[in-house]
Amino acid sequence: MNRELLLLRHGKSRWDTGLRDYERPLKDRGKRAAQRMGIWLLQQDLLPDYVISSPATRAMETARKCCKVMGIPANTIHQDQRIYMGSCEDLLAVIHDCPGDKNRILLVGHNPGLEELLETLVHDGLEWPNDGKLLPTATLAHIQVSEPWNEITQGSADLLTLIRPRLLPELFPWPDKDGTEQRDRPAYYYSQSSVIPYRVIDGAIEVLLVRSSQDKHWVIPKGIIDTGHSPQESAAKEAREEAGIEGLIDPVPLGSYEYEKWGACCTVKVYPMQVTRILAESEWEEKHRGRVWVSIEQASTQLKQKKLQPMLKTLVNQLSQGE
């Protein structure tokens, strides 16, 4: 039985952060390249059934961006320390340890190890491109092997495709992989969820606001609905990261609104969230934002997104009826 191995080098990373090599994040260019590669895999019906990545930040960001586009939850990505700074022998050992019942594996890693692995596995040899780069950033090699994973050796594979992200369309199909409309970001970016965090003190309703990422406006936690998560689960994740809070989210939204971003219209579902825990600043991922409790009236005037005003009124009515 033939098996397929997908070797993906991480996207273009940043060198200006002052962070050590292991922690370097992707540039925006690297993120988009990883997403374009994910779309290509989706359109070619090449969804992996096992994903393994170097745990280095730039590699994991590449794996997550690529997988989300394909509808693969990020929490299913396996991490293996051997891939980071790994030699060809190290990477072969990683492949040998992959589950035998998986038929298509995506491995996200680094050069020079990935290039050495590709050269070792392909039995007919490889013709190097004119620029001398076999696997530049975010390039994907699609190879076929006939042996079980734990028996793969030198010269045991055939190269099917070697594709670079610059050869793929810059825009993304919408609303799915076969969509004819082209957008600036993958389709899942345009479905979002949000919470209005509240508490009741001496009968008075208070809402928690946070500063926007650019520190220009007061907002409520909001974000893209993560692949594999419900709108409520994604909203809870954003509330913890952006506002440093946890709580109970009602399954029924207060409403929804639309706004323009990334060249198209984003739809946001808004849920009420009763805050049950306020994280200490040491636990709050985005504590630089700042947060403040305000009355419903203050929230209505201070929030940048005025389409939230009727939802604040709905929240008041729901809580009043529940008394």
DSSP state string for 18-51: ---GGG--B-HHHHHHHHHHHHHHHHTT---SEE
Q: What is the pTM of this model?
A: 0.87
For 192, the 3-state DSSP assignment is strand
Same domain, 196 and 252: yes
Same domain, 229 and 119: no
In a domain, 176, yes or no: no
In a domain, 156, yes or no: yes
Give the CA distances from residue 211 to residues 97, 216, 238, 245, 312, in Å, rounded to whole numbers and listed in that order: 46, 7, 13, 14, 18
Count: domains in the chain? 2
The pLDDT assigned to 216 comes to: 79
Same domain, 93 and 212: no
The pLDDT assigned to 2 comes to: 85
Same domain, 245 and 275: yes
Rounded Cα gap, residues 97 and 209, in angstroms: 48
In a domain, 182, yes or no: no
The pLDDT assigned to 1 comes to: 72
Percent of the chain with pLDDT over 90: 85
Across the range 126-143, mean pLDDT stands at: 89
Same domain, 72 and 14: yes
Helix (H) or strand (E) holding 276: strand 264-278
pLDDT digits 0-9 by tens, 196-238: 999 999 999 999 999 987 767 899 999 999 888 899 999 999 9
The pLDDT assigned to 212 comes to: 87
- Average pLDDT of the chain is 94
The pLDDT assigned to 323 comes to: 54
pLDDT of residue 105 exceeding 60: yes
pLDDT digits 0-9 by tens, 156-188: 899 999 999 999 999 999 999 999 999 999 999
Same domain, 121 and 230: no
Q: Domain of residue 89: give its range.
A: 3-167
Same domain, 23 and 145: yes
Same domain, 54 and 133: yes
End-to-end Cα separation, the chain, in angstroms:
64
Same domain, 159 and 233: no
pLDDT digits 0-9 by tens, 232-283: 999 999 999 999 999 999 999 999 999 999 999 999 999 999 999 999 988 9
Question: Of 97, 132, 167, at which residue does a domain stop?
Answer: 167
Percent of the chain with pLDDT over 70: 99
The pLDDT assigned to 129 comes to: 80
- pLDDT range class, residue 18, cuts 50, 70, 90: confident
The pLDDT assigned to 124 comes to: 79
CATH number at residue 87: 3.40.50.1240
Same domain, 127 and 31: yes
CATH number at residue 198: 3.90.79.10
- CA–centroid distance for 94 within its chain: 24
CB neighbours of residue 42 within 10 Å: 20
Rounded Cα gap, residues 51 and 105, in angstroms: 6
Same domain, 31 and 140: yes
